[in-house]
Structure 1
Amino acid sequence: MDERNFVFCSFPTIDWKIMYELNPIGIFHEKEGVTFILEQQDAVNKKIHYQSVYRLITLNVHSSLDAVGLTAAFSAKLAEKNISANVVTAYYHDHIFVPEEKAEQALNAILELQKRYST
């Protein structure tokens, strides 16, 4: 689990200067605007609006973008514990943003899942 807190922020259009200054760890273009995933402190420092604070759990397994079932398995396990998950699948790993206040509980749930499949 990453030590930092993260937030999701939306901008009507992409501003490359702001993007460079903020150095988001994730960007996604939607028809309504551009989402930046930022460290919470950067958003606070720049007075950027956000709604919720998340912690990041990165699965250390190298997962294929074509794999079937991994996202469903950890999503189901987190749902079982009433924990929302915002998943970003990158080239090498899956990254799960969970509510800050449930981060330890989410990590424990994923570790339970890992134990079940590694034995």
Structure 2
Amino acid sequence: MPGEKNLEKLIASMAPTLSDAEYVFGLVAIADYEQIALLQPRGTFREKEGVTVILEKEKADECHVAYSGVFKCITLSVHSSLDAVGLTAAVATKLTKSNISANVIAAYYHDHIFIKSLDADKALSVLNELVKKGL
């Protein structure tokens, strides 16, 4: 089933949910996928400098993965199309107006926004306001 492309429908039905877990972004310098699998990352992205891993803070501490910053994840529960235009911009703009940094990752079904843990509750409130009021 294809995802939603209509921006107004996406905003109205995005149903943001906040994770309980805390996440960090770390770097594995050598792309050893066996080692990466042991970290049980929520996500990865390969860059020329190494593999960025997004994993639970507890696992990073346990495995001595260096990081800076601790985040919570807000998932936009709407099934958005990867071809949708404007959802990331609308969310980022709304959060920017509240001085909240956002690290957005689009996955196959949903968009996930990693917010500094201290700002997570405020960000959830801001996004719920966007749902209610729209663009």
TM-score range for the pair, normalised by the shorter chain length: over 0.9
- Which residue of structure 1 lines up, in the alignment, with residue 32 of structure 2? 15
2:116 to 83, 88, 99: 99
User: How many percent identity over aligned positions?
Assistant: 48
Deviations 1:18-60 (A, max 9, x none): 1121110100011111100000000011111110000000001
Q: For the residues of structure 2 that align with 1:115 and 1:106, how far apart are their CA atoms?
A: 14
Is 1:90 the counterpart of 2:131 in the alignment? no
- Does residue 114 of the first structure (1) align with residue 131 of the second (2)? yes
Shifted more, 34-43 versus 6-15: the winner is 6-15
2:76 to 55, 59, 83: 59
Instruction: Indicate the residue corresponding to 1:75 in structure 2.
Output: 92
Larger RCO (CA under 8 A, 6+ residues apart): 2
Cα distance in 2 for partners of 1:111, 1:70 equals: 14
Partner in structure 2 of residue 28 of structure 1 = 45
Does 2:16 align with 1:2? no
Q: Determine the structure 1 residue equivalent to 2:55.
A: 38
In 1, Cα distance between the equivalents of 2:48 and 2:39? 22
**What amino acid is aligned across from residue 24 of structure 2 in structure 1?**
V
Instruction: Report the CA distance between 1:17 and its aligned residue.
Output: 2.1
The root-mean-square deviation of aligned C-alpha atoms, in Å, is: 1.1
Report runs of 4+ in structure 1 exceeding 6 Å deviation.
none
Unaligned runs of 5+ in 1: none
Unaligned 5+ residue runs, structure 2?
Answer: 1-17
What is the TM-score when the length of structure 2 is the normalising length? 0.85
Deviations for 1:2-25, whole angstroms, at most 9, x for unmatched residues? Answer: 100000001112112211211101
Count of paired positions: 118
> Partners in 2 of 1:30 and 1:116 — Cα distance?
38
